[in-house]
Amino acid sequence: SVPTSGCHDKAVLLYEYVGKRIVDLQHTEVPDAYRGRGIAKHLAKAALDFVVEEDLKAHLTCWYIQKYVKENPLPQYLEHLQP
């Protein structure tokens, strides 16, 4: 039997370290059943707060996180973005 749970029922944020101190925030995904509840926003905020706390640089491949930063242009986020 095939397990019914998998990554399809979880909200995920895919990221990858592309350098020693550089993290590429690649993609956020929220299951259809949970969309519209602000979950992606929580994922974006948590990821950016992590980047700030760990003093990393973030490369934003994910369009949603790019949009989140435009809507929340906090200085601590902006100074941790990789140009």
Q: What is the pLDDT of residue 9?
A: 81
Asked, for residue 2, whether it belongs to a domain, the answer is no
> In tens digits, what is the pLDDT along the chain, a chain of 83 residues?
444 445 568 899 999 999 999 999 999 999 999 999 999 999 999 999 999 999 999 999 999 999 999 999 999 999 999 97
64 occurs within a structural domain: yes
SS3 per-residue string spanning the chain: CCCCCCHHHCCEEEEEECCCCEEEEEEEECCHHHCCCCHHHHHHHHHHHHHHHCCCEEEECCHHHHHHHHHCCCHHHHCCECC
Q: pTM of the full predicted structure?
A: 0.86
- Is 22 a member of any domain? yes
Name the residue range of residue 63's domain.
12-79
5 inside domain: no
In a domain, 43, yes or no: yes
| CATH code assigned at 36 | 3.40.630.30
The pLDDT of residue 7 is: 54
In a domain, 4, yes or no: no
Number of domains in the chain: 1
